[in-house]
Structure 1
Amino acid sequence: MFLKLDMKVSPVSASTSSCVYKPAITAKYPSTKETTNYARICRVVVDVIPDVFRQLLFSWLPVSGLTSVLINQRDQIFNLLNNQQKKIIYPRGGMFQGTTKDFDISLLYILLRNLGNIQPHRKGWGQVPDKADRSLSANIERLRIQRNDAYGHAKSASLSDVDFQARWTDIRQSIEDLQNGGHIKGEVVAAMNNIETMRMDPSTESNFIALVKEMEGEIGDIKDQMTTDRDNVRGEIGDIKDLMTIDRDTVRGEIGDIKDLMTIDRDTVRGEIGDIKDQMTIDRDTVRGRDPKLKALIETTRLTTIDQTSKPEVISTQALEDAKEMIRKNSIVLIKGASGDGKTLMGYQLLKWLMDGDNKDTRPSKDPVQLHSMAKWDKIVKPNTQLAVYIDDISWEIAEELKKREVSIQSTFCGKLNNRSNCLILNVREEIFKSTQLSSCELFKQNIIDLRGKNCITITEKQLMLERYVPEIITFPGGKESEIIKLAPDIGFPQCCRLYRDVPSLQKEGVNFFKQPFHFMETTLKKLPKEHFSALLFLFLNEGSVKKGDLDPKNNESVRQGKA
């Protein structure tokens, strides 16, 4: 199946089961960047997403074909359809004779999830999928939601650049996943790229926007069902004389529609009728009145969190569960440990949990914000703003600033986790904690996860982690695996596993590396060229960071600071 997109033609016509779309009459339509943004989304909703769904339906149907499946599985899907959809698929006195071009997105979605034998995503059909879930069903769900969202913006008929980019990226990534996974054919992604850059005059814009506005017939199915033409009403309410002669399926479909109206499939209600919830949560940043810079910071942290927590070596530990429980009770946690103990990753795992929830919690729905200094703290951190603030690897300066703000932190973060509360996640090296005022601060002392103490990694967790980092470790002779997991190296066990995996020379040392990691790291460093070693020394003296001025050979400020 090919995706037909003629970029040179302005008049547009398409059809769905609920109405026939006709080119809108050109009117006085103010064309702006925002209306063009919305029109581009509309074109994708009208042309691209239905074609994607049709391809998926064909690829997942049994070889017997669509008509055969509709007949054989009538009992399974009949009560899931609205009146218009029933007329199309199960016309009176015959069988379906049309093509999938007669199906709107709503009907295609129902058929895909009920006839295609497609595994539901982790949250289940009809629910908003996890961002990290790139499965077939999750991407189908995203496209359905984007179609509903497009109709939700029909009254204003405009989208800001920020909203457009977010929606466009979501749609494009979903379609790209489907294309790369071999679920759909053709150059669908290329077609989207063309739509993103094509010239759209006011007439073209108004046509596509009109098409999406007409989707009220698809999305507002209750209204359609209550305002069906009089002949339909007679047929659905039924004449008493006909009750004794109509076959059983017709009784279900045409007399029992009052019941259908009240018991329409929950997912259809959520996705196509009950979009009040969707409309209230379409853009959490807009609802919460986020500053654009804060929104950008949230999105950066969100993407980083997903990237860090989706790696194959990531495991859940008892320490992580203890940290979650601490946040549930106090909305704050300080993770303390040595270098390489996994403090940073645990912080991202907690952010991911606060974004999406887990089996024990409904979705906390916090917006993640990672701060690398205290410069933005006072502008960003306010009470009851539903933020999850994360500061990784606290420096001496940050520790002192946090101590100064102890009272405000207590009022802004402390308390049981709830829908409006903020959460604070800190991690600090043990030596920084002991040498700063953090160690004397009761607020932090009461909310510590100690990765070198009571919350240290267990033998079972070490074994799982080692096998994730180095799968071939299980083939080592002489029980080397069990010997390694019993060791307590000076640097953190996760870091040892990572170094062992990434540095071939360390793999030759085997168990000996885990016994004395510092010794072998020193040996490896000595083999570096002199200029490389000098660069590492410079980083060490500058606490791991390089500023723009440091790269200027005429700037001696950093040298003077190092001597001081």
Structure 2
Amino acid sequence: MATGGQPQTLDNRIFLFRLQILVIDGGLLVLRNILDQSLTSQCITFSACLNQEKSTITRLKSRGVITQIQFDVLFPAGGKVPTSSDLDITLIICLLRSLKCFGLNKKFDWGATPAPTDVTVEADICRLKNFRNKISHISTTTAIQQNDFTAWWNDIEQILVRRCSPALNIQQTIGEFKTCPLDLEEERRIQKEIKKWKDYEDEVDRLKQEMTDVRKKVTDVKKDLEDIKENVTDVKKVKKDLEYVKESDTAMKRNLEDIKANVTNVKKGLEDVKENDTAVKRNIEGIKENVTEVKRDIDEIKRRQGTDETRQDRQKKGNIFQRFFERRRYNRSKTSKILLKYAMHVVFQTWNKSNLC
């Protein structure tokens, strides 16, 4: 591996530079070949694949997996149809692992290091991705040692040869990468590409952080909504309790009105009882007066006739008694009516009290 403790030599920088060329140029060539072969095997064009998977690509952009610049490459303004030649390594790897139209294994674990015995397309794409990440994070001031260079070169070369179409003659291209003369312009091109990778990673990290912040805000909003729902439930419960209180208050008012009406009836009944009692007393007084009058009449008859009464006197006496008893029957009838009315009133008031209870 690259080490910072050893002094840098020109060869160490050349080793790093040639590895970068192998991954950037050789890896891109092979990945484009994999993409085109996958589309051919699925009998679909690249533009048709993009249109078919546009919802997935849009979702990847919203999650920060694809940047706006990469999205514009796939769906350029003006209706231009993109090809695999317009794509860089990062975008090709993202499309191969995310879109169904390429027919790769969706259950493959892209986050794990493939086993040495796994030589599937998915495993080789994952290895190229890992080498790209390693090389892009090695500083040009640190470079790489020769033994690391040799080991990495052999591993990457095996992947490229295994995955490239024979028609591309990739073995010859790899040999040229290893022996071609290096100039300042070529180094700048490679460093520019490396910078693009780093900028992409920074942009992805930024978007992921934004997504994390958005998810946190969404979680907070959901929590606030739950609190609002609980408050609404409490308000509905309070409202229901208030309705119950109002109904109870209305029922109490009705009961109070009934009680007032019953009290009024009781008072009226008491007044009637008093009046009836007074009438009974007056009747009794009248009876007493009648008896007294009868006695006076008898005494008068006795005084006038003595003990020897004539038939006419007896008739007169009988008439006097008849008037007395008729007057008693009349007074008794009137008294009975008054007592009957009072008894009915007492029964009615007793019934009202039982209903109130």
Q: Give me the TM-score of the superposition, normalised by structure 1.
A: 0.32
Which structure carries more strand by proportion? Answer: 1
Q: Which has more radius of gyration?
A: 2
Higher RCO, 1 or 2 (CA under 8 Å, sep at least 6)?
2
Which structure carries more helix by proportion? Answer: 2
